[in-house]
Chains A and B, each alone.
Chain A
Amino acid sequence: MTGRRATPAAPGPPDTGTASWRTICAYDDLPPERGVAALLDGAQVAVFRTHDGSLHALDNLDPYANAQVLSRGIIGSRGGVPTVASPMHKQVYDLRTGQCLDQPELTVRTYPVRCRDGMVEVRCPS
């Protein structure tokens, strides 16, 4: 989270109405290749910044462990898929879809996320 980025990340999904997008922090507050948790109307969202600067947002709840911890997992890749591993019992999730790659019955919700003017925005569940 130290050091400034000269260019912000690639643009996120198209803007479908500003009302539901919520700013959570500055892009530079996101540590590279790690996650943070954000509180959005009582929901906990895990926001990740991968090595290429792109952003992903998932439910923070690890459905296997039933604990709000996914944001603290290790970021990586499996066969080209960007992933996070739960810090609890190490199940690996696809950051793009929320699908668990180790136990197919597990999925977590994804959220649209983008970077605007150096700020990270997550679209709120409505």
Chain B
Amino acid sequence: MKLVVVGNGMVGHRLVETLRARDARGGCDITVLAEESRPAYDRVRLSAWFDGEALELSCVDGVTVRLGEAATALDPAARTVTTAVASYSYDALVLATGSSPFVPPVPGCDLTGCFVYRTVDDLHALSAYAQAGSGPMTGVVVGGGLLGLEAANALRRLGVNAHVVELAPRLMPLQVDEAGGAMLRRHIEELGLTIHTGRMLQRVDGRSGRVSRVVFADGGVLSTDVVVFAAGVRPRDDLARAAGLTVGARGGVVVDHAGRTSAPDIYAVGECAEIGGRVYGLVAPGYAMAEMVADRLLGGDATFEGADTSTKLKLLGVDVASFGSTAGPLDVTFTDPATRVYAKLVLSDDAKTLLGGILVGDASAYATLRAQVGLPLLSTPLALLAPAGDGGVGANLPDTAQVCSCNAVTKATIVSAITGQGCADVAAVKECTRAGTTCGSCVPLLKQLLTESGVAMPTALCEHFDLSRQELFDLMRVRGITTFSQLIGEHGRGRGCDICKPVVASILASITGGYILDGEQASLQDTNDHFLANLQRNGTYSVVPRIPGGEITPEKLIVIGEVARDFQLYTKITGGQRIDLLGARVEHLPEIWRRLVDAGFESGHAYGKALRTVKSCVGTTWCRFGVQDAVGLAVALELRYRGLRAPHKVKAAVSGCARECAEARSKDFGVIATENGWNLYVGGNGGFRPRHAELLAVDLSTVDLIAIIDRFLMFYVRTADRLQRTSAWIEAMDGGLDHLRSVIVDDSLGLAAELEAAMTRHVASYADEWKSTLDDPDRLRRFVSFVNAPDTPDPSIAFSTERDQPVPLGRASPARQQPVLVGMPR
């Protein structure tokens, strides 16, 4: 089947994504006609562009996307759609043309300096204009709804002194009531914005063709340099209208309950469609329509059952949420002028059923409340307004309650993913059900459902300890416990295992510092840490000397080459800008390291759950484009954090400019140079589930940058679960990145000084493990293949030659037919 999708916005993208995911046989030949020249992106988070966040949506394989090629005509009789350059025939066509900003037809609305706020191009144009001016600018946003407040945030981020003009008597008139609007206004005015409610724009005046002031209907005048129209949107139905399709009285291509327009095999979805007499301007109903039409195209019979128009947003840093009905027979309101929190719950006339509500200033109860709309109250209204996490609301929700409204995921679906498909953490549930992947507000509820389903949430480490890694860390730190025997004797049971012992070893390394292989600590270490090298599949080990920042002298390179040659090691360049020497026999490790240490090398901790590398580009040292000394910083950071043991490996990188050649955003912490300093990103990783790091702080001085990384790493070391990379750690945190920023940057918990002091102790106590080992004959005794034949090499180890290098002889064992258990909790 030949399918043409007209429009490449979020809803069109979701349609194609769903089709491709469900159409396993690939029976659909999909072409997307995209007006914009950039790949599909997340329009909801447009102002996140200022934070340098990537807005692109994931690319869908096997789809032809014609970027910059808008559809210009549609011929339902001939079943063709035409663009400026080509004509496409179709078996089925989906209109996903979205909407266009509504510009009130006031005089002067086309002057230079008037903008709309809808696309990345709009944002670029606004940004270029605001930055071209000399001195501080003033800007007026027309529209005080969510789009208007987003636009006001954009102006604010551009350093423009922003005014918001709203015709209605309050901000966000569609979502909140008068009291909620008043609370929102107090928050926003505190940020220095000026709010004009109940005022109508009459005209825009200009000087030499450029905006100079706006005039209100009440006669008031306001000098301004920029006007942004953000007063709503209109469905883009012109293509359908010209083709003779039925459109609604107020615009929008009319579709039936299955998304079908009045023309055969033409569907419409999202903001361009009128369904059930209504045009939805939110992404969640658009997604629901996209999934319904995808189902229909594949022969299903899905219908549109109406959509949840609940929203939770962070506008200008203020939480605003509304769900269900925002007005009704009875309501309970709560106002706290001190914390600027307003909440309202709308109840049925018998006060027994929750119908909806409004939250301003703190929307942490949103997910649990929204899931209870239409259901008997589970608690008193005031108790319901308490933050999620108290009281086990999840278990009381009926199976049909919608936990994630963005992706229409019910409690039943989530519970079946947990109990039926073995999802054991939030990340797995997200992956499996898509719940929590759009706005994230239901993540606390997902956690609750995980706990209530009896899934071993990462609280109990293993059968030997009921405590989580974080709890063990705190216990050992506060009580001063420094041996495993004491810990398991007083707070555990049995004799430990391959899960808890390395965890305790890592905690001891963090708390006590010092050499990790003396006394009882040696018995806790995984084989890699026990031999200070990485075990390979044939029982040999690999050796990775530290090469800070990836910078190395020719002399040192020669030493590595000589060592590899003399010990017949397979040599490979790693992704972390160092050199891996593989195939070392355990009895050769001391001799190999003696030569490396003598040449000035240190352990690279490639074997440890520890800081690995800080990768770099050449920065201002060599690069024509560099704006800061990336290598210098990378070397300093790697030397500062070397030897730091953590819940999992930690990788980092420093890029000398925004071209990002060091791939810093794929690291646990990545630093990207700016003209003014450094931007810090956290929580990235490659691997099975690649993640981009997110922006934590901007334009930092080197001193501030290091202080924040110190805190970030120590907070991670102390509070993450076992084998939890920084991305999963941040994701599982209540409040996510915002919470992390408040702790790390704003010091909301008052921990900063302590975390920095802990890092200072780490830096002061660092010693190279390999040098410490070589200096002590007792420590060297374990490096033999056989206790009764120390000079005999392991006869089972043999090599063949591949591409002129030694490789293990023979393939991996045939017994390995089952999925590999890589140290997962059992």
Contact = CB atoms under 8 A, between A and B. Distances in A.
Contact of B498 (A25, A29, A51, A90): A90
In order of increasing CB-CB distance, the 3 nearest A-B pairs are: A66-B813, A87-B527, A85-B498
Interface in A40-94: 40, 42, 44, 47, 50-51, 61, 63-69, 72-80, 82-83, 85, 87-92
B787 A29 contact: yes
A103 interface: yes
Contact of B538 (A25, A36, A47, A67): A67
Given A29-B787, A102-B821, 4 more contacts: A66-B814, A78-B463, A87-B527, A92-B497
Interface stretch (B321-329, B564-572, B668-676, B777-785): B777-785
A39 B796 CA distance: 11
Contacts of B789: 38-39
5 contacts: A39-B786, A51-B485, A72-B530, A74-B502, A92-B497
Interface size range on B against A: 35 or more
Interface string B414-429: 0000000000000000
Interface size range on A against B: 35 or more
A123 interface: no
Interface stretch (B45-53, B518-526, B692-700): B518-526
A23 B789 CA distance: 12
A79 B782 CA distance: 30
B401 to A, nearest CB: 38
Contacts of B519: 2
B822 A65 contact: no
Contact of A102 (B485, B538, B826): B826
Contacts of B818: 103
A76 B495 contact: yes
Given A66-B812, A69-B535, A87-B526, A76 B788 contact: no
A31 interface: yes
B535 A72 contact: yes
Interface of B: 463-464, 485, 494-498, 500-502, 519-520, 522-528, 530-531, 535, 537-539, 778, 781-782, 785-789, 792, 794-797, 812-816, 818, 820-823, 826
Interface majority SS (helix, strand, loop, mixed), chain B: loop
Contacts of A82: 495
B796 A90 contact: no
A50 B495 contact: yes
A1 interface: yes
B527 A77 contact: no
A88 B537 contact: yes
B498 A64 contact: no
B823 A38 contact: no
A79 to B, nearest CB: 7
A57 B408 CA distance: 57
B669 to A, nearest CB: 29
B813 A74 contact: no
Chain A CB within 10 A, most for which of B535, B539, B785:
B539
B165 to A, nearest CB: 64
Contacts of B795: 42
Contacts of B523: 31-34, 74-75
Given A25-B787, A39-B788, A69 B495 contact: no
A63 B816 CA distance: 9
Contacts of A51: 485, 495
B535 A76 contact: no
Contacts of A102: 821, 826
A9 interface: no
B823 A90 contact: yes
Interface in A13-37: 23-25, 29-34, 36-37
A2 B813 CA distance: 37
Given A73-B527, A76-B495, A76-B501, A65 B785 contact: no
Contacts of A10: none
A41 to B, nearest CB: 11
A124 to B, nearest CB: 12
A88 B497 contact: no
Given A77-B495, A87-B527, A106 B815 contact: yes
Contact of A90 (B500, B537, B538, B822): B822
A37 B813 contact: no
A24 B788 CA distance: 5
Nearest to B494: A77
A69 B786 contact: no
B813 A75 contact: no
A38 B527 contact: no
Nearest to B814: A66
A32 B795 CA distance: 26
